[in-house]
Amino acid sequence: MLGLFVQIIDITLVLVLIYLMLLVIGERRNLWMIRGLIVLMLAAVLSHALKLPLLGFVLTNLSFGAAVAMAFMLQVEIRRFLELLGRGEIGQLFSSSNISISRPDSVIDELVDAVRELSQKRTGALMILEVGPPIDENDFSVPGVRLDAELSKELIQTIFQTTTLLHDGAILIRASRIVAAGVILPISERMASRQLGTRHRAAMGITERIENCLCIVVSEETGSISIAQRGSLNRPLTSNRLRELLQEQFTPVVDSDTVTPKLLHLGRRVTGLWKWTRQLGKR
């Protein structure tokens, strides 16, 4: 009876761990990898229950190797999880982070028009857009100069003119206002292409640190437009494609692919597999 109780606790803890992993991933970009790892782990458990030592050894080591590889690929998400755990803010994982913030089309139009003209003139620019709760400016290398001004394409183009003192930094955009300019961002520690300049690596760096933001980058050398989010760079973009991405990002929709129903379904499947394995063992 005690062994049964221990096995139930073991399965429960595994399900809780899977639940936390799904919460950390957020956008489910790598959900299929998580599922693949779960399948490998279940196959390893099943092979040991059926007394297939060689297959169990191969699957166990394959699961371990897959877990190590995922640790590298999901380093941004794992870092966020460890930071929240260290701060004692693990409850933030359970907050509703899949609800996008709405933004008036006029603001998006002003932003896209400014980016288009900066791109045509090959004027380098870097813009941080909040897509969730306000960003803690302590995550910036230098917070920059407070502006708190209404967003307009004229103001954005003026800030990034090479004759201004603030053109080298980034601007922080919150809702329909430019909160600060001349913000210095941390550089990404990931290996990046040599074709990427400091602005692109800074955009990747801040989106690695902060989940609830995206960065728009205009290259000074080529005039190409890029978007960085969660440490990944989407480039090159046309102004029309940029508009589409911003409208998708700031449309107030709720992610219907919730974790809890899938977790409950997975729990039922794991429990059924465990009962079936026990029956095989008794035979």
Same domain, 82 and 167: no
Q: At what angle do helices 75-87 and 53-73 cross, to 10 degrees?
A: 80
Q: Which pLDDT band, with edges at 50, 70 and 90, does 243 fall under?
A: very high
pLDDT band at 123 (very low <50, low <70, confident <90, very high): very high
Instruction: Specify the DSSP class assigned to residue 133.
Output: S
Work out the average pLDDT over 212-225: 92
Same domain, 231 and 268: no
Residues 8 and 87 in one domain: yes
Q: Is 132 in the same domain as 74?
A: no
Using pLDDT thresholds of 50, 70 and 90, give the confidence band for residue 272.
low
pLDDT of residue 92: 62
DSSP 201: H
Range scoring the smallest mean pLDDT among 23-27, 74-78, 83-87, 149-153: 23-27
Question: Are 130 and 83 part of one and the same domain?
Answer: no
The answer to whether residues 172 and 191 belong to one domain is yes
Mean pLDDT score of the chain, rounded to an integer?
A: 78
The answer to whether residues 128 and 67 belong to one domain is no
Which range (102-106, 145-149, 220-224, 277-281) has the least confidence? 277-281
Host H or E run for residue 68? helix 53-73
Question: Tell me, what's the pLDDT at 202?
Answer: 92
For residue 218, give the CATH number of its domain: 3.40.1700.10
Greatest mean pLDDT among 21-35, 40-54, 241-255 lies in: 40-54
Which residue range forms the structural domain that includes residue 229?
A: 105-249
Residues 168 and 205 in one domain: yes
C-alpha to C-alpha distance for 24 and 236, rounded to whole angstroms:
28
Q: What is the pLDDT of residue 76?
A: 64
Of residues 170 and 192, more confidence is placed in 170
| Residue 23 pLDDT class (50, 70, 90 cuts) | low
**Residue appearing with tokens 């995922």:** 70
DSSP H helical segments within 74-167, as ranges?
75-87, 105-120, 153-159
Q: How many angstroms separate the CA atoms of 81 and 103, rounded?
A: 28
Residues 242 and 116 placed together within one structural domain of the fold:
yes
On whether both 127 and 226 belong to a single domain, the answer is: yes
Q: Same structural domain for residues 266 and 193? A: no
Q: 31-49 and 2-25 helices cross at what angle (nearest 10)?
A: 160
Name which residue leads in pLDDT, 183 or 35: 183
Token pair of 62, please? Answer: 């394959």
- The answer on 211 and 143 residing in a single domain is yes
Q: Which pLDDT does position 181 carry in this prediction?
A: 94
Most confident of 27-41, 56-70, 99-113: 56-70
For residue 184, pLDDT over 90 is answered with: yes
Q: Between these two residues, 124 and 30, which has the higher pLDDT value? A: 124
The total of structural domains in the chain comes to 2
